[in-house]
Structure 1
Amino acid sequence: MVLFPSHQAATISRHVGPVHCVTYSSGAGQYILTGGQDRKIHLFNSSTTSHIQTYDAHGYEILSLAVSPDNSRFASVGGDKSAFLWDVATAKTLRRFSGHYARINTCGFNHDASILVTGSFDATVRCWDTKSNANKPVMVWDEAKDSITSLTVGDGEVVTGCVDGRLRRYDLRMGQIHVDVIGHPITSVMQTRDGNAILVSSLDETIRLMDKATGGCLMSYKGHRNKEYRISSTFAMVDSYVVSGSEDGTVWAWDILEGKNVVREVAHAGKVVSAVAVNDGRREMVTAGVDGTVLIWRTE
């Protein structure tokens, strides 16, 4: 018996149009943030699914969200070309970071949310100091040849995925860039808890677990559909499983060591499932998709 949150426990229908991103609050993960094509961000209680707050300032679709470790602030990015920093309690924007020349696809905080990292369709990655009043980024990386689709911020490093098929790792302490060639447009990157491997989704319908030290592929996961859309993948149950959405309206989970598919659930009315997040402590998962709904999954 696979201990995995594969039971659809609740459906949230607050957005009008596709939901592009979803994330849990930090720590215990009592709350869920969602962002959509309708330019709205919503905050929900994950236990009761009750709606708590709406954050409304974007003029274009919202594509990525990041929550600070203390849950007091969060960042949102999308079609506006600016990154928004929000106060969770007051629902007011604290800062807007402008400098990208095209939509911003992805964002992430460092360990204390003093730095916000953003990746854009303009092929650059920018680092912003959230504590100073400076309007310019403290760092800009422009090595990519195409759109930055995903990034993850680790201990002293930033990992980015790009449409040019390159996985780039920026070592902030050594000032070095490490590049691994995946060979297909990358849609999602996520580091393991121990930081030794990186989960990479790409448009050849394959998810790869890449060894950070050697650049080699430790395991690959297949079966889902992903040829066109940006679909996120993540880890579940303390890095025991790999989880992903799919373009055919299904949610997949694989055994991380064996690469074997252990869960395949139909969801979101057969529409693209583009975003997925897992809360190990609650044994809970949330998915979002083109159908405009957010599904909460639990173990039965």
Structure 2
Amino acid sequence: MATFGAAANANTNPNKSYEVTPSPADSISSLSFSPRADILVATSWDNQVRCWEISRSGTSLASAPKASISHDQPVLCSAWKDDGSTVFSGGCDKQAKMWPVLSGGQPVTVAMHDAPIVDMAWIPGMNLLVTGSWDKTLKYWDTRQQAPVHTQQLPDKCYSLSVKHPLLVVGTADRNLIVFNLQNPQTEFKRIVSPLKYQTRCVTAFPDQQGFLVGSIEGRVGVHHLDDSQQNKNFTFKCHRDGNEIYSVNALNFHPVHGTFATAGSDGAFNFWDKDSKQRLKAMSRCSQPIPCSSFNHDGSIYAYASCYDWNKGAENHNPATAKSSIFLHMPQESEVKAKPRVASGRK
């Protein structure tokens, strides 16, 4: 069983990343950068949604807390409107709130489910918010209306979803991966059993909408292409493992410029990968606590990640005295995130 001992606890920031302050009082559940500016939003188990403005000068970073709002219960997910004006958040109070963060307006409830909302995304091509819940539904919302535009039944609880219009990928319990073409959102485009043997933790759509990544609790990632003629490009690989210790892959983020991606895991590490050359570009040092969530900023020059207890060992292993929740910012060097040219073998 994986443990984080006292010795490891001394090394809370081994990558010498910039720490965003003040830290949330409890575990961090999601991080989302604005698509237009270096504004970072974090949701956490202390029922709060917090916003910071990040500024960069050469190789140094600074953060300034801007504002925060509250939910009635722990907040699990967040998303930005594509114009960077508005933040959406959802969680255990079964509702999604819309917060006009740039104008300093008050949050309003724009979505309701019958169970916690665990993931969400704004769909720019449709001007709709999509929310996924443990109530086994996806709901699409026009934020000017009280009722959902469409409710889509899922085969099981939603765990993760990702949109790159017109592609929507949903990971549910029982290893289902459901693909929707948003030009016809009321019909499943494809249903796939995960190529990974264990529970899905996260999914993310390829930037070119041609497929998706899926991560699981077994420290493995699957690379899946949708086109039947591209199936020979599908593969899975191991990551976030240490000898016999196996850790969950908690977050998958594509770099917005280079098309490479980052994985973050319960081992406290984040790594950068190139799926096309099947290479790990950079392995970062392990933090003393798990990394439950992460996000690139709009140009990929900043990678935000949280380090905190992720509840994968239950409440009995949670020690508030040692389990500080931190948000760190890493500035990737080009060599860490830019794909390396493939070397031709010379063989015919």
Q: TM-score, normalised by structure 2?
A: 0.76
Q: Distance in 2 between matches of 1:42 and 1:74?
A: 10
Higher helix share goes to which structure? 2
Q: Residue 316 of structure 2 corresponds to which residue in structure 1? A: none
Higher relative contact order (CA 8 A, sep 6+): 1
**Over alpha carbons, which structure has the higher Rg?**
2
Q: Secondary structure at the match of 2:174?
A: coil
CA distances 1:199-235 after superposition (whole Å, capped 9, x unpaired): 1112232111110123846232322159676711111
Q: Is the 1:107–1:116 contact (alpha carbons within 8 Å) kept by the matching residues of 2?
A: yes
Letter in 2 for 1:262: L
Task: Determine the structure 2 residue equivalent to 1:3.
Answer: none
**Of 196, 220, 236, which residue of structure 2 is paired with 1:220?**
236
The counterpart of 2:47, out of the listed 39, 46, 53, is: 39
Deviation at 1:159, TM superposition (A): 1.5
Which of 19, 29, 52 matches 1:11? 19
Count of aligned positions = 289
Aligned residue number for residue 296 of structure 1: 329
Q: Secondary structure at the match of 1:273?
A: coil
Answering whether residue 224 of structure 2 is matched by residue 210 of structure 1, we say yes
Percent identity for Structure 1 against Structure 2 = 19
How far apart, CA to CA, are the structure 2 residues paired with 1:251 and 1:181? 26
- What is the CA-CA distance between 1:87 and the residue it aligns to? 0.9
1:77 aligned onto 2:90: yes
| Cα distance between partner residues in 1 of 2:16 and 2:259 | 21
Q: 1:54–1:91: 8 Å Cα contact kept in structure 2?
A: no
1:237–1:283 Cα contact (<8 Å) kept? no
- 8 Å CA contact 1:193–1:239 kept in 2: the answer is no
Q: 1:239 to 1:142 in 2, by over 3 A?
A: farther
* Whole-Å separation in 2 of the counterparts to 1:120 and 1:169: 16
Q: Deviations over 1:8-40 (max 9, x none)?
A: 44112420121111011013x311111111111
Give the C-alpha shift of residue 250 in structure 1.
1.1
What is the CA–CA distance in structure 2 between the aligned matches of 1:162 and 1:227, rounded to whole Å?
21
Q: Once the two structures are superposed, what CA deviation does each residue of 1:262-287 show, in whole Å capped at 9, x if it has no partner? A: 3222354x111011112362522110
Residue 63 of structure 1: aligned partner: 76
1:26 alignment counterpart: 35
User: Which digits, 9 at most, give the CA deviation of each residue in 1:84-134, with x for residues without a partner?
Assistant: 111112241133322x1111100001115721101111221111111x3x3
SS in structure 2 of the partner of residue 274 of structure 1: coil
Q: Distance in 2 between matches of 1:58 and 1:228?
A: 30
Structure 1 residue 80: deviation in Å? 0.9
Amino acid at match of 2:201: T
**Where does 1:68-147 land on structure 2 (aligned, <5 Å)?**
68-88=81-101, 89-98=103-112, 100-111=113-124, 114-130=127-143, 132=144, 134-145=145-156, 147=157
Take 1:276 and 1:282, find their aligned partners in 2: how far apart are those partners? 12
Q: Distance in 2 between matches of 1:127 and 1:169?
A: 15
Query: Which of 247, 251, 254 is 1:232 aligned to?
Result: 251
For residue 155 of structure 1, what is the amino acid of its counterpart?
Answer: H
Question: Quick one: distance in 1 between partners of 2:168 and 2:152?
Answer: 11
Q: CA–CA distance in 2 between the matches of 1:18 and 1:169?
A: 30
- In structure 2, do the counterparts of structure 1 residues 160 and 294 end up closer, same or farther at CA, with 3 Å as the change threshold? same
Shift of 1:67: 0.5
Q: 1:25 to 1:65 in 2, by over 3 A?
A: same
Relative to its length, the structure with more strand (as a share) is 1
Cross-structure match for 2:171: 161
Q: Structure 1: which 5+ runs fail to align?
A: 1-5
AA aligned opposite 1:15: P
Work out whether residues 8 and 295 of structure 1, in 8 Å CA contact, stay in contact via their aligned partners in 2. Answer: no
Residue number among 148, 162, 166 corresponding to 1:152 in the alignment: 162
1:279 aligns with 2:291: no
